[in-house]
Structure 1
Amino acid sequence: MNPVSTPADRDLVLVGGGHSHALALRMLAMNREPGLRLTLVSPDSLAAYSGMLPGLVAGHYTLEETHVDLRRLCQASGARFVRARVTDLDPAARRLTLDDGTTLDYDWLSLDVGATPDLDAVPGAAAHAVPVKPVSDFHYRWRSLLADLDHRTDELAISVVGGGAGGTEMILAVARALIDRGLAARLTLVTAGELLPGYPDAVRRRMARRLADYGVRLCTESPVRRVEAGRLILDHDTVAHDFLLWCTGVKAAPWLAASGLPCDERGFVRVDERLRSPADERIFAAGDCAAFPGGLPKAGVYAVRQARTLADNLATAAGGRALRAYRPQKRFLSLLSAGGRDAVGSRGPLLTVAGPWVWRWKDRIDRRFMARFDEPLPSMPAPAAEASPHCAGCGAKIGAAALGEALERLQPAVREGIEAGVDQADDAAVIRWPAGQRLGQTLDYFPAFLDEPHLFGRVAALHALSDLYAMNATPHSALATVCVPRHHPRLQARDLQRLMAGAVTELNRAGCTLVGGHTIEGPELAAGFTVNGAATPEALWHKGGARPGQCLILTGALGTGIQLASLMHGRARGPWLDATLEAMLAGNGAARVALAGLGDLDGTRPGACTDVTGFGLLGHLLEICQQSDVDARLNLETVPLLPGTLTLVEAGVTSTLKPANDQVLARCEHHGVASDDPRLAALTDPQTSGGLLFSIDRERAPAALAALRRHRVPATQVGELTVKNHKASATMTLHDGGPC
């Protein structure tokens, strides 16, 4: 699922998924600079297109239609995607610090992190106002307000602060959405100066007329002095609000100025005409976060036009060639949404148009822009043959310098009884084993499903630990086996450091000491862990302890194999993958603690337990049936699935392991379930870092579910165990509906 890596020797990191970066990434992919590896860092998988945001609020568009799916874009562009927020930039070390505490090194850096409304400029605004950015937070608050309004009979006061294009379009979009839902509210637009400053008089008049038509009270020349709960304090008036939206005055992310880069008075990064920082030739910036010579309005049209220059200059700078200047256009077409399917347009002071046909024109332009991100990239040339073959055997090891650089910042937790581990650098780990306990040992190893070493390292460690949790063993120690792609040693060190930092995060959380490992280089990133665990004989859970009449409980949801396969099929969607990765990163440690604690209370314990991984739910359930000499009855209606899983199955997306796993269906009887039911694909889908499947006495099932909920583990009762038909092999009955 991870394409074979082309050897690289430089890292270009793009921070932020704004308009400039989204377009530049496609351009860089189509004209790939040899040896340059691309990485995009963004806190969200979806990036809003500002031109369609009013239409989203008004109800003209869906969330998917108005956002660029950054995960899909990176997948198509051959770029890494790191879902994280940057909190610090160190230009001297060429290093970014992310909000998960990890670091990301670069050779070239581009910034397109936008701007956010400045709520600190007015007392009380931060406590009582809703900023329009980040869009994901605003959209959630807006949808929550609409849901609340549907159940209220009183009239709410909704106010928007900011009379520029953003605020004017937003109050009209809010008005349209309320009308379409049959809801009423008192709407007010407050601006410190005139309406739509910088726009032609004809545009201001037309938009003011539309505000009046929608019943919006307009307060011009009314700077907000203070915001209180329920009201705005102006110079000579007060304005009530139950929902306050802030669309004025923007500021930069604080870490930009804290980096020491030259910034303007609002903290935006100064750049020259080539979009490069005058203080650091390896750092570029574009879009709203860039302070261009002479100043430019914070408008998406400039960010879009900067993309070509930015992409060209990033490639040529990395290749050691001359850069070119960005020349901002003096005039551009401006199309303002006017609430309904209506718009006002202008190009300079002399041309102004308005009406539904202008909205249709704007709609075509916006949809055409967004369609660019769904278009497949032209076929890229095959990577050039490597100049010399690579050694096998011990010659395939990672170099000592790269290995040392990668491991020096790791801080594995050390358990008592580790006499020789990573710190001692002996030839083997030395461990004192507790008397009277059993050693549980398991090994997992697989290639990366996403080209993001830190995330992959976390999942690989959790996947390995899962086998110990399924047997109620306490993790003790681990050995790592890692294959790093054949890049420059500097990049190999970066990859190995991030992978192991992710793995050590999860191992430390589990109280499992990393005691050593082995690294090689190869065609793609891969990792695995041998983990040791301890348990007393009587505490161990097995697959062979299930009894007829017990209920089957599944933690988590199914579909990770299908979701990861969607990457190969080009059908992955960012929000679906986000949910999948969140499920994989949950691990089974909390579930094991919840179930073990339940047993401590009254002696009840799972009858049988296993983790759902490569053989799918049915494959692992069959193992329980065979080991416990029982049959099973599974209710498809209750089996939880990850978002988008059925949609992908119906589109023909399944894991390559599906044909082998589907053989278990021959052991199933179908009661009211069609043989082509798409849910069957989920039952045999191989899971990576999947949940636990366990049986428990019927009367103890409610207590088990409650204990799991207290530990924030999603769990569902999915079936029951029945008396085995001893004239046949173990069987499973699949049915649709009905209680356990």
Structure 2
Amino acid sequence: MHSRIPLTRDLVLVGGGHTHALILRKWGMNPLPGVRLTVINPGATAPYSGMLPGFVAGHYTRAELDIDLVQLARFAEARIINGAVNGIDLKAKTISVPGRPPISYDVAAIDIGITSEMPKLPGFAEYGVPAKPLGVFASRWDSFRSTASDPHVAVIGGGVAGAELAMAMAHALRARGQTPDIHLLDRGKVLAVLGDTARQKMKSALAANGVTIHEDASAVAVHSDGVECEGGTVVPSDFTVGAAGAKPHDWQSDIGLQMHEGFIWTDAHLQTSDPAIFAVGDCAHFSADPRPKAGVYAVRQAPVHFDNLRAALSGGTLRSYKPQKDYLKLISLGDKKALAEKFGTAMAGGLLWKWKDHIDRKFMNQFENLQMMDQPDLPLTIADGVRDALGDKPMCGGCGAKVGRTALRSALKSLPDHSRDDVVTVTGDDAALLRMGSIGQVISTDHLRSFTNDPVMMARIAAVHALGDIWAMGAKPQAATATIILPRTSPELQQRMLDEIMAAAAEIMGKAGAAIVGGHTSLGDEMTIGFTVTGLCDKPITIAGGKAGNALILTKPLGSGVIMAAEMAGKAAGADVIGALETMCADQAKASEILTEAHAMTDVTGFGLAGHLAGLCEASNAGAVVALGDVPLMQGARALSEDGIKSTLYGDNRSGAGSIFGADGPVADLLFDPQTAGGLLASVPAERSQQILARLKKAGYEDAAIIGHLTEQTGTIKVQ
């Protein structure tokens, strides 16, 4: 790690294609100190095209097909932005992603692949699915394969990719006991790019798989039950795939870069007409020696691309990429057989499938078992207790970095009693109530140690987190001040990061009705974002009003602590991480309004559900019963807990939660999981609980649930 070296330059990778996946891996092993690396991609994963036919045929799982970009970003210490770029401003040197402030760059690289023009075919958008983007196709096929009966499939486009998909789908459906009707359509001759020998072998393989070939068949429309061709012929299909008409993404032609037939022109250095931007993979046209669109070229561009990006950021010399003249084509034939073709020579068989499978798995294995963040090396001689204090893993961020509940309560008890009659506090409430005549104002402060390198995501989560104390007391947010610590950076990057943070914070606070009225900034070892927030209320809801028999409602699922702890270790699925971040960003404004009937309420944050429930029970002189099976969990949280992963605050939360007995095990452990920007926990009248829950769900809180009730057994929580 180079955390003490100031950040001075922004490198932004647009797209997580094969080349950029390799760049992230290389960067993790050999980063350029002083560079903040960002990758932008619509989704947590990038499917590997070489294994797509095998996945379609059922030889690989979806997990085996996908490169996890979130894990790669963690390995490279990069920020990952989940979104689709829709523009680049060359003059301002900013990149546009819907729903975010502009993303600045000093050097940028584009690797977004190609898309399909099939949606222009009448009816295709409604009834067809393009073969690219691969992720969308893989999901749609997965659903069709598992539910189809008497399947009819049509593939429009008789190139190698279309033929591979047709045979793979035929094999997969037969393996499920179906008798599929598969058609391959081309407006000319199928497999025209192959040599005569390879073409004949492929046509024989198509016939062996029961695929009907339609040559000189131009599709003119797609219907729910078939593909209409010129002349009126209708090919039956209830799953129509578009494997023809590959084209560049529309937005890249509007950048202002030099283009070649819609593709981004690059020179021998993979550099575009703007020296600050590079382009690789299928989205680019390599002018020095044009090559076909094939993944093998994207993979072999990676070493040159990596060196040139570093050179562009450090004043070095660029080097040229020299593609091979031809490459070995290994083509899947449906079952575990493959065809190999190079220089006009072709052969087929099971051994070639094993060879292809070995090559593909070797490529994907590069992205497995990456060495993630570890504890720092310690000197030979250290003070007693250092190893115990350090623990066996890096400290979690967010609420996982809090001081334990026991230590905090002990410190608060030592404070002298105040004598102000305009300050009202309830022990355990995170917000204090100030009385100014008939006006009630609540005030609270909270901050988060960074657990993601994205300032926008951190600002949104920190704002929602700080507002939670206001919402939990039934107050309307009023004003906020920001406290921001940035890692040591150049003045230019400081401005960029502050702009992103304040824009994101203003969005959340403004939506909540609060004005940001000031703040404080400083530099430190890592990014920390916090807010002091005030709110107005007539009658605050505290944690002291719960009554025996009240139903307990939780508005958000649990699991952010364990998921982010696993993410630090490279053990969380990227989709689960992105899902957790999005859940943390979800505000509680409408939930607070709906829960005005609550007798007691708190937000579930660093001390976990058990700790915050214990505080509510203690203040309300009540106990509680929690139905473990009714507690909502984030996707992936249960599996990670079953694998033994815990936040660094878990132990303190467990010991500080008091008298809790009953169910035990990995799911019960999540009751002690520290939550960041967690949900509201409300004690509501039992007779109104179902109506309140229905209102919450209608308002968009789909995970909201009744998780138990309060009892008369003071201070005792039973989990069942």
**Residue 259 of structure 1 is aligned with which of 255, 261, 266?**
255
> Which residue identity does 2:73 align to in structure 1?
C
CA separation in 2, counterparts of 1:140 and 1:362? 23
CA separation in 2, counterparts of 1:121 and 1:165? 22
Is the aligned partner of 1:583 residue 2:583? yes
Deviations along 1:103-159, one digit per CA (max 9) or x if unpaired, are 00000010001100112553443343211222332233223323442xx5xx34211
Displacement after TM superposition at 1:534 (Å): 0.6
Instruction: Identify the residue that residue 612 of structure 2 maps to in structure 1.
Output: 620
**For residues 357-436 of structure 1, what are the structure 2 equivalents within 5 Å?**
357-376=351-370, 436=438
Q: Give the stretch that moved more between structures: 492-501 or 433-442.
A: 433-442
Displacement after TM superposition at 1:50 (Å): 0.3
Report the 3-state secondary structure (helix = DSSP H, G, I; strand = E; otherwise coil) of the residue aligned with 2:95: strand
Is the aligned partner of 1:329 residue 2:324? yes
Deviations along 1:417-464, one digit per CA (max 9) or x if unpaired, are xxxxxxxxxxxxxxxx99733101110012111000011110000000
Instruction: Identify the residue that residue 419 of structure 1 maps to in structure 2.
Output: none
2:445–2:530 CA contact under 8 A, matched in 1: yes
Displacement after TM superposition at 1:379 (Å): 9.8
CA separation in 2, counterparts of 1:210 and 1:464? 62
Q: Give the stretch that moved more between structures: 93-102 or 485-494.
A: 93-102
**Residue 442 of structure 2 is aligned with which of 436, 440, 443?**
440
Instruction: Identify the residue that residue 403 of structure 1 maps to in structure 2.
Output: none
CA separation in 2, counterparts of 1:731 and 1:217? 70
Instruction: Identify the residue that residue 60 of structure 1 maps to in structure 2.
Output: 59
> Which residue identity does 2:295 align to in structure 1?
G
Change in Cα spacing, 1:3 to 1:624, as seen in structure 2 (3 Å) is: farther
Is the aligned partner of 1:201 residue 2:196? yes
**Residue 694 of structure 2 is aligned with which of 706, 711, 734?**
706
Displacement after TM superposition at 1:595 (Å): 2.5
Is the aligned partner of 1:231 residue 2:226? yes
Report the 3-state secondary structure (helix = DSSP H, G, I; strand = E; otherwise coil) of the residue aligned with 1:341: strand
Instruction: Identify the residue that residue 280 of structure 1 maps to in structure 2.
Output: 274
Instruction: Identify the residue that residue 646 of structure 1 maps to in structure 2.
Output: 638
TM-score, scaled to structure 2: 0.88
Instruction: Identify the residue that residue 551 of structure 2 maps to in structure 1.
Output: 551
CA separation in 1, counterparts of 2:58 and 2:649? 41
2:48–2:66 CA contact under 8 A, matched in 1: yes
CA separation in 2, counterparts of 1:381 and 1:652? 19
> Which residue identity does 1:578 align to in structure 2?
I
Report the 3-state secondary structure (helix = DSSP H, G, I; strand = E; otherwise coil) of the residue aligned with 1:342: strand
Cα-Cα RMSD:
2.2
> Which residue identity does 1:617 align to in structure 2?
L
Is the aligned partner of 1:289 residue 2:283? yes
Change in Cα spacing, 1:628 to 1:434, as seen in structure 2 (3 Å) is: closer
**For residues 601-640 of structure 1, what are the structure 2 equivalents within 5 Å?**
605-640=597-632
Is the aligned partner of 1:685 residue 2:673? yes
Deviations along 1:551-607, one digit per CA (max 9) or x if unpaired, are 2121111111111111332313201101211211112123113334xxxxxxxx112
Instruction: Identify the residue that residue 422 of structure 1 maps to in structure 2.
Output: none
CA separation in 1, counterparts of 2:593 and 2:113? 43
Report the 3-state secondary structure (helix = DSSP H, G, I; strand = E; otherwise coil) of the residue aligned with 2:187: coil
CA separation in 2, counterparts of 1:642 and 1:121? 38
Instruction: Identify the residue that residue 432 of structure 2 maps to in structure 1.
Output: none
CA separation in 1, counterparts of 2:195 and 2:260? 28
Displacement after TM superposition at 1:4 (Å): 4.0
1:510–1:589 CA contact under 8 A, matched in 2: yes
Displacement after TM superposition at 1:6 (Å): 3.6
CA separation in 1, counterparts of 2:341 and 2:12? 37
Displacement after TM superposition at 1:511 (Å): 1.3
1:595–1:707 CA contact under 8 A, matched in 2: no
CA separation in 1, counterparts of 2:538 and 2:71? 47
1:28–1:315 CA contact under 8 A, matched in 2: no
**For residues 639-678 of structure 1, what are the structure 2 equivalents within 5 Å?**
639-664=631-656, 666-670=658-662, 673-674=663-664, 677-678=665-666
Q: Aligned residue pairs: how many?
A: 661
Is the aligned partner of 1:733 residue 2:712? no
Report the 3-state secondary structure (helix = DSSP H, G, I; strand = E; otherwise coil) of the residue aligned with 2:319: coil
CA separation in 1, counterparts of 2:562 and 2:259? 46
Report the 3-state secondary structure (helix = DSSP H, G, I; strand = E; otherwise coil) of the residue aligned with 1:126: helix
Instruction: Identify the residue that residue 493 of structure 1 maps to in structure 2.
Output: 495
CA separation in 1, counterparts of 2:559 and 2:353? 41
Report the 3-state secondary structure (helix = DSSP H, G, I; strand = E; otherwise coil) of the residue aligned with 2:276: strand
Deviations along 1:250-270, one digit per CA (max 9) or x if unpaired, are 1212221111111122x2110
2:373–2:568 CA contact under 8 A, matched in 1: no
**For residues 207-246 of structure 1, what are the structure 2 equivalents within 5 Å?**
207-236=202-231, 237-246=233-242
Change in Cα spacing, 1:211 to 1:264, as seen in structure 2 (3 Å) is: same
2:75–2:373 CA contact under 8 A, matched in 1: no
Specify every segment of 5 or more residues in structure 1 that has no aligned partner in the other structure, as ranges. Answer: 384-432, 597-604, 736-740
Change in Cα spacing, 1:19 to 1:594, as seen in structure 2 (3 Å) is: same
Change in Cα spacing, 1:529 to 1:666, as seen in structure 2 (3 Å) is: closer
Deviations along 1:58-112, one digit per CA (max 9) or x if unpaired, are 2211111111100100101121211121111011111111111420000001000
Instruction: Identify the residue that residue 395 of structure 1 maps to in structure 2.
Output: none
CA separation in 1, counterparts of 2:578 and 2:375? 31
CA separation in 2, counterparts of 1:42 and 1:715? 30
2:47–2:67 CA contact under 8 A, matched in 1: yes
Change in Cα spacing, 1:434 to 1:82, as seen in structure 2 (3 Å) is: farther
Change in Cα spacing, 1:567 to 1:456, as seen in structure 2 (3 Å) is: same
1:173–1:340 CA contact under 8 A, matched in 2: yes
Instruction: Identify the residue that residue 132 of structure 1 maps to in structure 2.
Output: 131
Report the 3-state secondary structure (helix = DSSP H, G, I; strand = E; otherwise coil) of the residue aligned with 2:690: helix
1:26–1:377 CA contact under 8 A, matched in 2: no
CA separation in 2, counterparts of 1:226 and 1:143? 24
Instruction: Identify the residue that residue 568 of structure 2 maps to in structure 1.
Output: 568
Instruction: Identify the residue that residue 300 of structure 1 maps to in structure 2.
Output: 295
Change in Cα spacing, 1:482 to 1:349, as seen in structure 2 (3 Å) is: same
Q: Give the stretch that moved more between structures: 559-568 or 115-124.
A: 115-124
Instruction: Identify the residue that residue 415 of structure 2 maps to in structure 1.
Output: none
Displacement after TM superposition at 1:183 (Å): 2.4
Instruction: Identify the residue that residue 176 of structure 2 maps to in structure 1.
Output: 181
Instruction: Identify the residue that residue 462 of structure 1 maps to in structure 2.
Output: 464
Change in Cα spacing, 1:664 to 1:184, as seen in structure 2 (3 Å) is: farther
TM-score, scaled to structure 1: 0.86
CA separation in 1, counterparts of 2:658 and 2:65? 45
Q: Give the stretch that moved more between structures: 643-652 or 691-700.
A: 643-652
Instruction: Identify the residue that residue 388 of structure 2 maps to in structure 1.
Output: none
> Which residue identity does 1:622 align to in structure 2?
A
Report the 3-state secondary structure (helix = DSSP H, G, I; strand = E; otherwise coil) of the residue aligned with 2:446: strand
Instruction: Identify the residue that residue 49 of structure 2 maps to in structure 1.
Output: 50
Instruction: Identify the residue that residue 342 of structure 1 maps to in structure 2.
Output: 337
**For residues 484-563 of structure 1, what are the structure 2 equivalents within 5 Å?**
484-537=486-539, 540-563=540-563
Change in Cα spacing, 1:213 to 1:194, as seen in structure 2 (3 Å) is: same
1:125–1:227 CA contact under 8 A, matched in 2: yes
Specify every segment of 5 or more residues in structure 2 that has no aligned partner in the other structure, as ranges. Answer: 378-434
1:49–1:68 CA contact under 8 A, matched in 2: yes
Deviations along 1:613-648, one digit per CA (max 9) or x if unpaired, are 011000000011111111111121222221222332
Change in Cα spacing, 1:646 to 1:299, as seen in structure 2 (3 Å) is: same
2:114–2:133 CA contact under 8 A, matched in 1: no
Is the aligned partner of 1:720 residue 2:709? yes
> Which residue identity does 2:496 align to in structure 1?
R
Displacement after TM superposition at 1:724 (Å): 2.2
Displacement after TM superposition at 1:221 (Å): 2.5
Instruction: Identify the residue that residue 349 of structure 2 maps to in structure 1.
Output: 355
